[in-house]
Structure 1
Amino acid sequence: MKLLSYRSADRRSWGALVDGEILDLAAANPGWPTLAYALGDAGADGIGNAVTAAANTAHRVALDSVELLPVVPDPQKILCVGLNFEKHRIETGRERTEYPVIFTRFPDTFVGHGAPLVRPAESDRFDFEGEVALVIGRGGRRIAQDNALDHIAGVTCLNDGSIRDFQSHTHQFTPGKNFPATGSMGPWLVTLDEIVDLAELELTTRLNGAEVQRAPLSDLTYSIPEIVAYCSSWTELRPGDVIVTGTPGGIGARREPPLWMKPGDVCEVEVSGVGVLRNAIVGED
């Protein structure tokens, strides 16, 4: 099942992709105004039942007639794991840590598939970071690794676009990760029941059609169950929260010469079995 959030005629909604069209599940289920709310109320299984019930009666919208939003436009938390591919850790010169490196992003830093990523006026060091993002379907605190997958609704593609000079102002990543509209998430969430093995998902990033990153999730330093268990040890995960699992080696900042995203470029993040997230780059001015 593919779930997405969108805007159509100034109305924000969400739905399921069925036969190339969007089944408007918000209209069919007024008690579920957003995907995050529906996950909290019914979970992915309940949404699946709603898709079946509404398949022949719910309003449908052409996919190419809407503006796609980030899969979850309103998460309570966006938790990002840094340095979680060994090749990326090595290229940054960082020591391996005993625990996952976690930083946060704000919801307004993300746009959806097809929307432009905005290089801010303050910097031209705008870097790509293709990643796989998890969306929490069932909340919890102190989740055991053995139960972690039960709490994941599904996965989506994410570009953790980074302003590198601001990121390195101090040892805290926050400024370089939170300029508005510098990251993207989408095009849709693929529910976990459609993914045979998370570890075998392959992540690829392309800039202007040229491959710049590629790695399977089996290369993660901290596995998905480890990440979910660790994050839930210190914060309560809630339905709709997003956990971003890390980027592979090959980032633009560590190339010679550096490779920055600039206005006119197009960046794509592809996750096997999920889809392709595509965004053009524009200047803020």
Structure 2
Amino acid sequence: MKLGTCLYNDQTYVCIAEGDGVLIPALEPGFDQPAWRDMLTLIDSGTDLTVVQAAATDAMRVDAANITLLAPIPRPRKNVMCLGLNYLEHAEETANQIGRTGKAPQYPIVFTKCPTSVTGHETEIPFDPDTCSQLDWEAELGLVLGKGGKKISRDQALSHVFGYTVINDLSARDIQLNHKQYFLGKSLDGGCPMGPWIVTADEIADPQNLDISCRVNGVTKQASNTCNMIFDVSTIIEWLSRGMTLEAGDVIATGTPSGVGFVREPPEFLLPGDVVECEVKSVGVLRNKIV
């Protein structure tokens, strides 16, 4: 099932992708509950999602042209947790750029993006040259937890996943390099496009066998597969939960493959007018324009 958050008649709803349109369960009086108004509330509730599809009515059906998709979780409760250098070729290209020998990190490299950076599919990304002149793309598989916990074992980790989404970990390279850390350069307004949907975990048989790519103005810049992650989804959850309690609704970005802009010769960065498409097979295509 593909779940999203949308604006319809100036109100926010959880919606379900259906053909050329969506189902908005809350439009049917029997389903007008808080869980179908807010994605985090839906995740917390443990609602049986199959019930609403089986009971779908015409009152729920809305043409896609009449809604505006937001990020599936428009405002996460906490920072989005992100994996750095989680594909070997990306670790190597980054190390080469700064004159080091690239090798796989021994432990996961984790940073975060603030909740205010999250934005949705087809949302315009503001470009402010006074703040950042080196805006870079990073296509990533994102995951949303449906069940929290601490010291989650690798064997049980996938049972904690509610679903998967696409994230563009937009990065202000000049800020990132100048400040010697990731947070400021990763947290620009609009710097975390997410969506268009959350695809529920039951639809993804193996999160480690998904093609992942990024296109800028139709030109492929990144092309890989999640099988090339250094730390796979289960291992990421295991590591993050070792000393920190994870919670339902937490969002994790699992790292980007090689092909980012700042390592290219010459370097390439996003400019106003550019259209960026990040795609994860079976999850979706996330598209944004720089303005």
Alpha-carbon distance between aligned partners in 2 of 1:162 and 1:231, rounded to the nearest angstrom: 22
Instruction: Pick from 122, 125, 139 the counterpart of residue 134 of structure 2.
Output: 125
Query: Which SS does the other structure have where 1:167 is aligned?
Result: helix
Alpha-carbon distance between aligned partners in 2 of 1:279 and 1:148, rounded to the nearest angstrom: 31
Instruction: Pick from 36, 47, 52 the counterpart of residue 40 of structure 2.
Output: 36
Given that residues 39 and 47 in structure 1 are in contact (C-alpha distance below 8 angstroms), is that contact kept between their aligned partners in structure 2? no
1:171 shift after superposition: 3.1
Alpha-carbon distance between aligned partners in 1 of 2:58 and 2:160, rounded to the nearest angstrom: 30
Q: Letter of the 2:67 partner, please give it.
A: V
Given that residues 167 and 176 in structure 1 are in contact (C-alpha distance below 8 angstroms), is that contact kept between their aligned partners in structure 2? yes
Q: Letter of the 1:229 partner, please give it.
A: E
Q: Letter of the 1:100 partner, please give it.
A: P
2:60 maps to 1:59 = yes
Alpha-carbon distance between aligned partners in 2 of 1:260 and 1:279, rounded to the nearest angstrom: 15
2:74 maps to 1:73 = yes
Alpha-carbon distance between aligned partners in 2 of 1:98 and 1:168, rounded to the nearest angstrom: 22
Alpha-carbon distance between aligned partners in 1 of 2:22 and 2:194, rounded to the nearest angstrom: 18
1:17 shift after superposition: 1.0
Alpha-carbon distance between aligned partners in 2 of 1:40 and 1:57, rounded to the nearest angstrom: 27
2:93 maps to 1:84 = no
1:51 shift after superposition: 2.9
1:186 shift after superposition: 0.7
Aligned residues: 279
Partner of 1:271: 280
Alpha-carbon distance between aligned partners in 2 of 1:246 and 1:29, rounded to the nearest angstrom: 37
Deviates more, 1:211-220 or 1:109-118: 109-118
Structure 1 unaligned regions, length at least 5 = none
Structure 2 unaligned regions, length at least 5 = 96-101
Q: Letter of the 1:115 partner, please give it.
A: T
Given that residues 71 and 186 in structure 1 are in contact (C-alpha distance below 8 angstroms), is that contact kept between their aligned partners in structure 2? yes
Alpha-carbon distance between aligned partners in 1 of 2:152 and 2:32, rounded to the nearest angstrom: 30
Instruction: Pick from 207, 215, 236 the counterpart of residue 224 of structure 2.
Output: 215
2:151 maps to 1:142 = yes
2:264 maps to 1:255 = yes
Identity percentage over the alignment?
36
1:144 shift after superposition: 0.6
Deviates more, 1:258-267 or 1:98-107: 98-107
Deviations 1:123-176 (A, max 9, x none): 210100011100111121211100011011111111111100111123320010
The alignment's C-alpha RMSD in Å is 1.5
Q: Letter of the 1:41 partner, please give it.
A: S
Q: Letter of the 2:88 partner, please give it.
A: E
Deviating 4+ runs (over 4 angstroms): none
Alpha-carbon distance between aligned partners in 1 of 2:254 and 2:271, rounded to the nearest angstrom: 25
Alpha-carbon distance between aligned partners in 1 of 2:267 and 2:10, rounded to the nearest angstrom: 40
1:110 shift after superposition: 1.9
Partner of 1:107: 115
